[in-house]
Structure 1
C-alpha cells in the first residue's frame, strides 16, 4: 500500500474498532445469562429483556443518528457513541438489580449505531478499489470482539471454579457475571481516545460547503492532482438533487421513485441479515450449545470456537469481496447458511430425551435425584416436553439452573452433526451477508441522503434483531430447537430468492458511479 492507502487504512481501523466494542457487548452477555437468571430470579421474557435491551435502545438511537451525524458530523457522532459505550459498560458491572441492568444495557444500545456510522465514515474516506475491504473491517472487528468475549467468558468461568486465594480475593466466584461484563470497560475507553485522532469525513465537509477543510483531509487520502477533481465530483453529486436540511424531507426523499431501486435493495438486505437468526446464536451461544447436551463448560468452549470460525471466514470474505464481488458471496453464503440450519432442524427433530437410573445418579449433588425418579425410563420426543416434565418434577428455578447438566444426561442426538451445522452457519454468515450488508449500505445511497438512509435501514435491521433476541428464550422453551432452526432456515431461503432477483454488483465502482446506475433520473 502507498502512503495514502495506509492513511485511509489507519482511519478506517480506528473507526472500525467500534465494532470490537460492539462484539464484546453482544457476546459478553451470553456468558452471564445463567448467573443473572439465578441471581435476580428471571423469567424467560425477563432474560430476553436483559439480552435484547441494547437492541431496543438502538431503535431509538437510530431515529436521531442520521440527523446528528448530518448536523454535527461523522466524527462528533462517533465520539458521542464511544462515550455511551463506556458509561454503559461501567453501569452494567455495578447494576444492583434487574431494572438497573436493563437500563445500563439500554444505554449501551444507544451506542450500537456505531456500526452504521462506521460503514458510512469508512465508505466516505476509502478509495473505490479498497472500499469493500475497508468497510468489511467493521465486520472483522465485530467478530474479533465476539471471539474475545467468548474467550474471556470461558476463562473467567474456569477461574471461578477454582478455590485459589486470588479467585476468592477478586470475587470471581461470587461476582462471575460482573467480571464478564467488566471486560468491556478498558477497550471502550481506548476507542474514545483513538477517535480524537481521526479527521472529519471529507464528503460531509463538502456537503457543508467547507471546501478548504475537505481539501485538507483529501490531501491525506489521495495525490494532490486528484483532490480538485474529487471535490468537483462530490459537489456535482450533491447538486444533482435538491438537498434540504429538513429531517422529514430527507426521510420522505428515500421513498421517492428516483431512489426506489436503492430503497428496495437496502430494505431487503436489512431484513435478510438478522432474520437468518445470527443474533439468537451469537447472543445466546452457550445456551444454544447446551441444548445439544454437551454440558455447560463444553458449551462455553464451543462458543470460543464460534468466535474463531467467525474471524476466519470474515477475513476470507475481506480477501475476496473486491475480487469476486458482493453478489456472488451473498448468494453463495446464504445458500450455505440455509442448508446448514436445515440440517440442525432435522437433527433436533430426530432427537429423543430419556433419563435412566444411571444418568439420574450422575446428577447427585446437583439436584434432588429423588424428585427425578418419576421420570426414569420415560422417553420424550421433544426438548419442550422434556423441559416441561423437569419443571414439574424439580420446579422451574432448579430445572433452569441445571438445564445444561440435565440435557447432557438425557439427550440422544447426533451432536457432531448439529455442531457442524451451527459452525457452517456461522462460517456462511460471516463469509457473506454479515460483512457485505454494511459494504452495500455504504455504497448504494446518494451522499445527500446517506446520513438518513444508512441509519434508517440499520433501524430496520435493529428492530428485527431486537425481536429475535427478546423472544429467543421463550421460543426455545415453548417451540423447541427443531422449530426455531427450521424457521430461520426457511427465512434464509426466502431472503435468498429475493436478493437473487434484485441485488446488483458494485465492486470497483466509485460511490458516484453506483449512484448513477441506481438512481432513476
Structure 2
C-alpha cells in the first residue's frame, strides 16, 4: 500500500468518524446540564434518568432499521442523515422549554447516535486494508473520547461564566449554551461527508463494479486492486447463492459462535457502567465531597485519560491483537471498580450547624437538629435523613454543597479508581468491540447483525443509565460500583474462552474461519 492511498484512507476514516466526536460530545455534555435542569424543571429520579438516557433509548430502536436501510440506500446517505439530525437535536435541546421537549430533542440526537455508531465501523471495515483495519476502526473510539473531553472542557468553561456575576450566562440559561454549541461540529460533519466516497463493497453488492474499482484504486496500491476486487466479488456471489433470509442465516447453527460473541461484547461494553460514569461524572465526584468546581475539573481528567489510552490502543491493536487487549482491559475494569467501591465503603458523613449556615440553610435549623453532629457510615442513610429534614427538592438543590462539607473519604482513591477504569475501558471494550463488530460478521448478514447487536448494546446502555440514579439512591455507591466490577469479571471469563484473534486477516478469511458448517 503506497503512501498516497494510505493518506486517502486515513482522511476518509477521520471524516466518517467525526460522528463519533458528536456522539461523545452529545452524550457527555448532559453531565454538566443535569445539575441545572433538575431543579429548574423539578425533575424526579426517573425523569433525570430519562433526560440522560433518552438518546440511547432512541438509538436502541434506530439501530434496528438503520444498518439494513444502509444496505438499500448506502452507508454515506445514512451518515448524511445522521449529521442533519445531530444539528436539529442540538438546536431544539438548547431552546427546550420543559422536560418533554428536552427529551424529544435528545431522542432525535439518539437516532443520529445509532446511525453514526454502527455505520462508521461498517463503512471503515469495508474500505480498510486488513493490516490497517483495527487502527482505522479505532479512530471512531478516539473521536468519541475526544468528544467526551471537549464537552467536559466546554462545560467547565461555561460553568466559570455562569458563576461570574458580570457574565450574560446564569444558572437558568447556561445549560442551554452547553447543549447548543454542538451545532458547530454537526455542520462541519455534514460538509465533510459530501467528500467521502461510497463503500466499494456496497457498490459491488449493487452491481456498480466500475465505480467500485475506481474507489479501490484510491485505497489500495495498483498491484492489489484486482485481488481485492475479485475477493470481494467472490464473497458476495457466494452469499447470493443462499436463499435464506439474512436474519435466519444470522441465527443459524453455523453462526452460533459469532452470535455468542456478539451478545457478550454488546452487553459487557455497557454493563460495566461506562456511560453511567461518563454521563454522571461531575455528580459522581460531587458524591465524594470535592464540590462542583472540582467535580467539573476532575471530569476533564476522565476525558483526557480516555484520549491518551485510546491512542495507545490504536498503536497496539494491530500489533498485539484484539484478544490480549480485551483480557487486560476487563481485568483492569474489575480491579478499578473494586477500588472505587472500597473508597465509598470507608466513607463517613457528618453535617453540622456551621455547614448549614455556610450554605444558607440556617432557616432549617430545627429540622436539621437531629442530623447535626451525627456520624453516618452509610451514604444512603445520611442522604435519606437530610431529605426527610429538608424535603427532596431542597436537598437536591443543595446536595453538592452538603456533600462537599459533610463527606470524609479518600477522594483521591476514588478519582484514581475511576481514572484507572477509563484507562482500562479505553484499552479494551471501548474501541475493540467496534473493531470486532466490523470483522466477525459475514458480509451477507452484516447489516442485520449490526442492527441486532447494536440494539442489544444500546438497550443495555439505556437500562444502565436509567437505573443508575435509582441504584445510587437505593443500593448506595459501594454496592453499585461493586456490581460493575462483577460484570467485568463475568465478561472476562467468557471472552477468554471463546474470543478468537482476528488481527491481520481480511474479512473473507475471517468468515471462513468463524462460520462453522
Normalised to the residue count of structure 1, the TM-score between the two structures is: 0.96
Matches within 5 A, 1:147-186: 147-164=149-166, 167-168=167-168, 171-186=169-184
Match of 1:404 in 2: 400
Match of 1:112 in 2: 113
Which has the higher mean CA deviation after the structures are superposed, 103-112 or 411-420? 411-420
Residue 172 of structure 1 and its aligned partner are, at CA, apart by 4.3
- Distance, in Å, in 1 between the alignment partners of 2:232 and 2:80 is 25
Pair 1:191-2:189 in alignment: yes
Tell me, yes or no, if the aligned pair for 1:117 and 1:455 is still in contact at 8 Å: no
Q: Cα gap change, 1:289/1:209 in structure 2, threshold over 3 Å: closer, same or farther?
A: same
Residue 372 of structure 1 and its aligned partner are, at CA, apart by 2.3
Pair 1:418-2:420 in alignment: no
Alignment: residue pair count: 515
Gap regions ≥5 residues in structure 2: none
Match of 1:265 in 2: 261
Match of 2:45 in 1: 44
- Distance, in Å, in 2 between the alignment partners of 1:49 and 1:422 is 24
1:78-134 CA distance string (max 9 Å, x none): 111111111111111111110100000111101112111000101111111111110
Residue 365 of structure 1 and its aligned partner are, at CA, apart by 6.2
Residue 212 of structure 1 and its aligned partner are, at CA, apart by 0.8
Q: Cα gap change, 1:206/1:365 in structure 2, threshold over 3 Å: closer, same or farther?
A: same
Pair 1:15-2:16 in alignment: yes
- Distance, in Å, in 2 between the alignment partners of 1:33 and 1:371 is 28
- Distance, in Å, in 2 between the alignment partners of 1:325 and 1:384 is 43
Tell me, yes or no, if the aligned pair for 1:92 and 1:181 is still in contact at 8 Å: yes
- Distance, in Å, in 2 between the alignment partners of 1:213 and 1:16 is 23
Tell me, yes or no, if the aligned pair for 2:32 and 2:175 is still in contact at 8 Å: yes
- Distance, in Å, in 2 between the alignment partners of 1:16 and 1:203 is 19
Residue 359 of structure 1 and its aligned partner are, at CA, apart by 3.1
Residue 362 of structure 1 and its aligned partner are, at CA, apart by 3.0
1:223-260 CA distance string (max 9 Å, x none): 233222211111211222346799xx212211011212
Match of 1:125 in 2: 127
Which has the higher mean CA deviation after the structures are superposed, 452-461 or 110-119? 452-461
Tell me, yes or no, if the aligned pair for 1:243 and 1:448 is still in contact at 8 Å: no
Match of 1:390 in 2: 386
Query: Which of 492, 498, 503 in structure 1 is aligned with 2:488?
Result: 492
Matches within 5 A, 1:500-511: 500-511=496-507
Tell me, yes or no, if the aligned pair for 1:45 and 1:470 is still in contact at 8 Å: yes
Query: Which of 292, 296, 301 in structure 1 is aligned with 2:297?
Result: 301
Tell me, yes or no, if the aligned pair for 1:244 and 1:250 is still in contact at 8 Å: no
Residue 135 of structure 1 and its aligned partner are, at CA, apart by 0.3
- Distance, in Å, in 2 between the alignment partners of 1:61 and 1:243 is 29
Matches within 5 A, 1:272-351: 272-351=268-347
Match of 1:76 in 2: 77
1:123-163 CA distance string (max 9 Å, x none): 11111111111000000000000000011000001111112
1:150-186 CA distance string (max 9 Å, x none): 110000011111122xx22xx4443011010012111
Match of 2:206 in 1: 208
Residue 318 of structure 1 and its aligned partner are, at CA, apart by 0.6
**Alignment RMSD (CA, Å):** 1.5
- Distance, in Å, in 2 between the alignment partners of 1:414 and 1:303 is 17
- Distance, in Å, in 2 between the alignment partners of 1:276 and 1:368 is 40
Pair 1:468-2:469 in alignment: no
- Distance, in Å, in 2 between the alignment partners of 1:160 and 1:365 is 22
1:267-315 CA distance string (max 9 Å, x none): 1111110011000000111111111110111111111111111101101
Tell me, yes or no, if the aligned pair for 2:321 and 2:501 is still in contact at 8 Å: yes
Match of 1:140 in 2: 142
Pair 1:457-2:450 in alignment: no
Tell me, yes or no, if the aligned pair for 1:128 and 1:509 is still in contact at 8 Å: yes
Residue aligned with 2:113, SS = coil
Residue 368 of structure 1 and its aligned partner are, at CA, apart by 3.9
Tell me, yes or no, if the aligned pair for 2:67 and 2:118 is still in contact at 8 Å: no
Gap regions ≥5 residues in structure 1: none
1:346-389 CA distance string (max 9 Å, x none): 22122121113443343336974554232111122211111111
1:25-50 CA distance string (max 9 Å, x none): 00111101111101110000000001
Residue 57 of structure 1 and its aligned partner are, at CA, apart by 0.3
Q: Cα gap change, 1:297/1:244 in structure 2, threshold over 3 Å: closer, same or farther?
A: farther
Tell me, yes or no, if the aligned pair for 1:125 and 1:201 is still in contact at 8 Å: yes
- Distance, in Å, in 1 between the alignment partners of 2:170 and 2:462 is 30
